[in-house]
Structures are given as C-alpha cells and as structure tokens.
Structure 1
C-alpha cells in the first residue's frame, strides 16, 4: 500500500497524516463539475444496511460506465438500522479508497460536494423492477435528502437483471436518459445478477450482457480505504499475530427471524423450527465442521469470527465444543484502536457499522475465508478479496450440498454455470414465486378483492410496500409473522399434519435454494 511505501522511505507520522489530508482534499475536489453543463449525473438511491448501500454504489459506477460522459455521484452511507438505528452518516471517503476510482478514469463527485452547486431536485427516477420497492418519495427525501421528480418522470429501465442487458437495450437506455441531467438510480441487485452475493459477476464469463461486464470491471474499484486497513492491521497484530496465517468466518443466519431463533436461550434448536424459519438451516450443523476442515487444510488453529453480538454466545459455545477458540473484534477494543495516540481521526462516529467495516478488512486479509452466501456482508468481503488479487479457491461458502458437508464449497463451484443460464433460472424462480404469492394472497383475501400489484401503474403514488425487506417496528413484525402463519395454513391445510405442510413446502424450498 502507498502508506507502507511512505513508511519505508522514512516518512514519520506527521508526514503520513499530512499526506492523508492532502489525499482527502484531492479526492473531495477530484471531479469538480459544472452543474450547468451537459453532464448526466447518476445518483444511486441508498437503502438497507451499509453493504447493500455499497453494492448500490458499485452498480451506479457500472451504469455510469455504460453512458458516455456520465458522472457517478457518491453519497455517504447510513449506519445499519438493525444495529445502530441508522443514526449517523458514514463518510464514504473514510471507508473507501476513492483514488482507485479516479485512477480508472471514472468521473465521480461526492454528493455533499455536488450539493454545494445543486439544489437536490432530481429530473428523473430510473427504476429496474416493477415490484418490491419501499416508499419512493420517503426514501428519496429522508434517506437521500433530495427532491423526487413528478411521477411522470419515473421511468422503467430497458436494462435490468430480469430483462437482460444487450447492446441494443443499452442504446435504448442512452436515448431514454438523453433529455435528463440528474438521474436517480433506484435499484438493488437489479442492475445485474446477484451483485450482492459472493463474487457478484466478477467470476462470470458475461457473454453479451453488458451490465454483467460493467459490474465485473467497475465494481472492484470500490474497495476499503487505507485507514480501514490500518485498523484491521492493528487488530491482526495485537489479537492474532503479525504474519500469522488465520481463517476468517462470517456466520449470518438468514433471514432476520432466523437470527431471533439463534439467539433464543434453548441449548439445542428444534430442526423443524429451523426448517420453517430459516433459509440457512443447514448452517447450524455445517459451520463448525467446515471451519475444522479448513484448519486442517491451512494448517492453522486461529479462526477469526464475524457474527452479530446477539448470537455470539451460541456461535462461540458451538465452536468451543468443536475445539475452536474463536478470535473476535469487540467494540471496546475497536474504540481503543480509533483513539490510539498518533492514529488519524475519523469524522465517522463509532458504531457497529463502522466496526463491521474493519472486520471485513480483517476477513479480506485472511488465508482463507468461509462465508454465508446469502449475506451481502459476505459478498462485500469476497469481492474485496478478489479486488486485491486473492485467488478465488481460497474463499469458501456454506451450502446444503452434501459434497460440502465437511470441506465447504469453494467459491469457483458457484460459478460453474454460464451467466445467462443462471440469470434465466433466477428470473424463472422469481416469476414462479410471484405467481405463488399472488395465488395465496387471492385465496386469503376477502371476497371480491384482488391481490395488490406491485407495478407503478397499479400502485399509483408509491411502489409496493409488501416487500421482502424487514418492517420498521415490532407491531409490523408481529403482523408479518401472523401473515406467514396464515400462508402456511393455506399451503398445508388448516387441519393437516405438520409433516404434510413440510412436504408441501419442500418443492418451493428446493427451487429457492437452486436459485442460489
């Protein structure tokens, strides 16, 4: 790294801090822009946790590369709502190395710099799917601090993961956006296939899909900053040992109700309850033997574990029962590293979200990494490792596949299918799920009513709120659980045995897993 080179040349702490300040200032004004000119600004609308937000920024960088003369706008990130209540902003240029973007000749400007010259009024909102989006106006105004355009300027992109991304479709998009200057990009995982998952499109042969190729080339440009890596290196030196090989693991039960199940006080979790609640029930019996196998392959006993604090007691208890003494980063230790004399201060406040950024950098430096394929945090780590040249075969993921019961699945295994074949599989799966959900909703709806559509035209002012994303409050979560219970009764029959319901759900469950 450049900071290491400065140290080797004899630069002292003051020299390095001065260099950082100069670099930061250059980054902030790296793309001075004329808002009265003809530039098209691509502004990603951010939502969900920090890693999902970062993925949206990567998608925006990729989209801008397909539009001649476009400039991508880089917003700061919001803290995670789940762990930090999204209370503060996280400075993007402290978390990520924006010089990598400039060196790749990508035109960019940070949102807070653009706002000094622009009133925040968006010309158009470009969206990439017809359903399962949050309330658009509230998202744009509250989350982004911008003004949404009138609904007549909400446009469905001709390119997307579902529609494909041929050269002709890209030309259609260019013509569509030509009259506009300030373009909000509303999408997540919709620009190209599974950009948040594992390697995104980085290991695919993209064929003729230009969005896949754009993300493959431009996504790796958003990588952790020197300051975040300094914090990671500090932890490695003090808690693991400088130069000592170690394994990193990310244990993330999915979805959120599965986290609630894992944090229960029960000593052993009920397999049926796991099956009904979790997409990752296999993880419960896999993560310990998977890590044990990696210890043998990499000849190390040191295992760094990332998991949410609420399930850490169960995870650590299971690891220790398997003879693994895990290393982890806690908030007190991380805060002390931030305050260490001589350390460059951060404007981003201390939070679990900031700690997670440092944890990801630690995992990126591991000899081997075992992740949760369904998690965007694992995806961020995998793509960070690839961006820094780590060979794909040293990255692994947990899976239900019997071949991965002992030694976990190596990353290249996921990318054996061609991009277009997997994309079509995922699209078919989504359509089947939508049709099944509509049928269940219609069966449970009052007489004469119909299942609500998620399309913009049918929903009027807002896109569909009935999404896969977590509700905001406890009452809503209870309503969601009750609705799920009613749906299960409709599938299995109110008087049917539990085993019959399980069998009825199995085909849908297997389709869901084959999608991954």
Structure 2
C-alpha cells in the first residue's frame, strides 16, 4: 500500500507502530463504557438459547451467529459458559467449561445486544427446559445433548426443520412465525447463519445483512477486564513493557495429526501431505515472520520489537529453535503463568483465550490458514478498526 508520508515514514508503517497503542485506548474506552449503567432491554419475541459445539472458538463464532439471529427474530440471546476443547484434560488441562464473564465483558456486550446470562434467567425462575429446537438441515443430536452439561434440556422440545438459512426476509419471517408459540427456543449454530464464520468470512463490509451484523458482533465481544489485565501484566513483565511494539504469530499445523511431522529431523512436505492440510506453513513461517519484523522495525527501530508466538505447547522447542537460527527470540505465554494469575489449575482452552488477547493487541498479527483461533483474532481486529495489512496470514502453496 502506498500513500503520503509523515516525515520519512509511509502511512502503513505508522499504522503498524500505532496499532498496539490504539488497542490499549480501545481497551480503556471499553472499561469506561462498561461502567455506564446502560443495558438493552429484553425483546418481546422471547429467548434464543444458542446450542454450541466443537472447540471454544467455534462456539464463539456460533454465539456471534446467535447474536445476529436474535436481532432478526426479536429474541433475547441467552449467554452461557464456553466448553473446553474435547481433549483438554489429555493435553494437561482440565475438563469442563470456562465462565463467560471471566472471558468476556458481559456488560459491554449487553450495551449492544439484548442478552441475558443463563444464571440470570435461572434466578428469574426458568426451569432449564428448551421448548423448541429450530435447526437448519439435519438435527445434530450430539450437540443438543451437550446442553445437559449446563443443566438445560431439550428432551421434550418440539423440533422444527428450516432448511438452509439465507438471511432473506421471508426465511426470517417464517422462523419467527414457527417459533411464536415458544418462550425459549434453541438453535444449533456453527456456520449456519453466516457461511465460513469460523474461518474465511470476508473481512469487509459487504452490505449483506447477516454478514455485516456478524462482523459488528465481533467488535462487541471484547475480553473481560480480567483477561485484559492478565495480558497487560504479561506485556509489562515478558514483552519489554506496556508500550513495547511486538508481532504476534499463530503457528497452527492442521490437522492435529500434522504435529508429529514437525518433530522429525527433516520435514518432508510430500510425505506429510496426508496429515498436514497447511503443510506449506513449516516452510515459510520463519522467513515471513522476518519480513514482517523488518517492516515493523523500519518504524520502531532495529531490535526494538518483540515476537510473541501462539501455538501448541508441545511445539515450543521446535519453533524456538527455528526462529533462533535467524536471530529471533520468541516469547510464549505459559500455563504456569496463567495458573499463577488465576490461583487454580485451568484449561488449555483458557490459555488460548489469553493468547488471543495478546495477539489481538499486537502491532502485527500473522495468522495460520484453516484455524478458527486465527479467524476470531482477525475478525476482532477488523471489527475494531485495526488495518488489515497488519493482520496477514502465512502464505499457502496448494
């Protein structure tokens, strides 16, 4: 991107240098907004209970779809805790769920969307019974049964099949009419309302109602003050200070079966192809990180920027060794750091949530393709005004 200069610096470099300061200003603004005693009222259409599945970021994408659907159907969205990834305990974490209000600023969300927490609804006398389940295509029973973990049941619910959702007025009106007799309805959501919502959604305003509403919701789901404070302390103690510029990179071999190939003495992309859907990542992530580091250093000064890495804990040694060969020293957020902050044993999923906030605040964030974790960071950065040239993705060679 070319543009007029400010002194000797191109505009894109100024934007890169200012990104983390801008993110802190937004965080400060969010803190102020959250203190405002304002909340959108309950909607007259009843309640929409999002039935969410897969990993935490897939669930967050589904929640954002629910926020879109709630507005369209004139229903208040029931916000509940986020389930840890299925193999969390096997990876050294814990089973269970993460408290929504520990992760996200509920009060800020409630200023922009009509939402109620599951705890609030229970305190008001709701018995946990979903009266109707609306689904797009085949009902996915394994998802629906997971509501039992929240002491919510759809056992006696009426099931209503709507076919493919296309965000047209006629489809929305049909849904609203079918749901009308029921106070609390559940909808399984994962790329049902917005295609590619987990990863690959267009990061631009398109004029398409559901798409643009989804991106708006991405800007309303900000991390809680607790998560932001944890991030602040990490930056102050490990990344050189609250104002130190840095790059964050998400290095995510996909699928999980690909991890074993990264540990081999010599990486063979051809042999790994069956397990590695983004096998080119291994070959390019170091050099492409160096390129972005040089771009940032043109603004902040050579050696002044840090490098934060979000990846699998078991790849830390491999990644560190590869970066150190080119003179970069990567920093990681450790489970021990998080557990010291929280005061109890926590999940790999919670670790990932903190890593995402650190990545969100970076001057430059480099993502991995085919990753919902990358997708959530990119969506938030776009929705909250960070230039997309500072949110690239590692190249792929299909």
State the TM bucket, normalised to the shorter chain: 0.7 to 0.9
Q: Which residues of 2 match residues 258-407 of structure 1 at below 5 A?
A: 258-262=258-262, 264=263, 266-299=264-297, 301-338=305-342, 350-401=346-397
Q: Equivalents in 1 of 2:177, 2:154: separation in Å?
A: 21
The answer to whether the 8 Å contact 2:135/2:163 transfers is no
Q: Equivalents in 1 of 2:144, 2:381: separation in Å?
A: 36
Structure number, greater radius of gyration: 1
Residue 159 of structure 1: how far off its partner (Å): 4.9
The answer to whether the 8 Å contact 1:77/1:91 transfers is yes
The answer to whether the 8 Å contact 1:90/1:349 transfers is no
The answer to whether the 8 Å contact 1:63/1:214 transfers is no
- In the other structure, the counterpart of 1:213 is 212
* Structure 2 counterpart of 1:175, from 177, 184, 191: 177
Q: Equivalents in 1 of 2:179, 2:322: separation in Å?
A: 54
Q: Equivalents in 2 of 1:115, 1:384: separation in Å?
A: 31
**1:248 equivalent in alignment to 2:232:** no
* Residues 182 and 349 of structure 1: CA distance in aligned 2, closer, same or farther (over 3 Å): farther
The answer to whether the 8 Å contact 1:38/1:181 transfers is no
Residue 172 of structure 1: how far off its partner (Å): 2.0
Q: Equivalents in 2 of 1:38, 1:218: separation in Å?
A: 21
Q: Equivalents in 1 of 2:133, 2:183: separation in Å?
A: 11
- In the other structure, the counterpart of 2:301 is none
The answer to whether the 8 Å contact 1:31/1:109 transfers is no
How much is the aligned-residue C-alpha RMSD, in angstroms?
Answer: 2.9
Residue 201 of structure 1: how far off its partner (Å): 4.6
Q: Equivalents in 1 of 2:362, 2:132: separation in Å?
A: 43
Q: Equivalents in 2 of 1:2, 1:216: separation in Å?
A: 17
- In the other structure, the counterpart of 1:189 is 191
3-state DSSP class of the match of 1:154? strand
What CA deviation, in whole Å up to 9, does each residue of 1:218-259 have, x standing for no partner?
Answer: 332112112211111110111112211110000111112123
- In the other structure, the counterpart of 2:162 is 157
Residue 71 of structure 1: how far off its partner (Å): 0.4
* Structure 1 counterpart of 2:81, from 69, 76, 81: 76
- In the other structure, the counterpart of 1:145 is 151
The answer to whether the 8 Å contact 2:307/2:330 transfers is yes
3-state DSSP class of the match of 2:238? helix
Q: Give the gaps of 5 or more residues in structure 2.
A: 1-24, 298-303
Q: Equivalents in 2 of 1:149, 1:307: separation in Å?
A: 39
Residue 2 of structure 1: how far off its partner (Å): 9.1
What CA deviation, in whole Å up to 9, does each residue of 1:45-89 have, x standing for no partner?
Answer: 122222111111111111101112x10000111222223365232
Q: Equivalents in 2 of 1:39, 1:258: separation in Å?
A: 47
The answer to whether the 8 Å contact 1:127/1:156 transfers is yes
**What TM-score comes out, normalization by structure 2 length?**
0.82
What CA deviation, in whole Å up to 9, does each residue of 1:396-443 have, x standing for no partner?
Answer: 102325xxxxxxxxxxxxxxxxxxxxxxxxxxxxxxxxxxxxxxxxxx
Q: Equivalents in 2 of 1:218, 1:306: separation in Å?
A: 24
What CA deviation, in whole Å up to 9, does each residue of 1:102-150 have, x standing for no partner?
Answer: 222x21111122123111111111222337x452453232x44321144
The answer to whether the 8 Å contact 1:254/1:278 transfers is yes
* Residues 42 and 137 of structure 1: CA distance in aligned 2, closer, same or farther (over 3 Å): closer
* Residues 273 and 112 of structure 1: CA distance in aligned 2, closer, same or farther (over 3 Å): farther
- In the other structure, the counterpart of 1:222 is 221
Q: Which residues of 2 match residues 483-502 of structure 1 at below 5 A?
A: none
**What TM-score comes out, normalization by structure 1 length?**
0.64
Q: Equivalents in 1 of 2:235, 2:137: separation in Å?
A: 42
Which protein has greater RCO, CA pairs closer than 8 Å, 6+ apart?
2
Q: Give the gaps of 5 or more residues in structure 1.
A: 7-15, 340-347, 402-509, 511-516
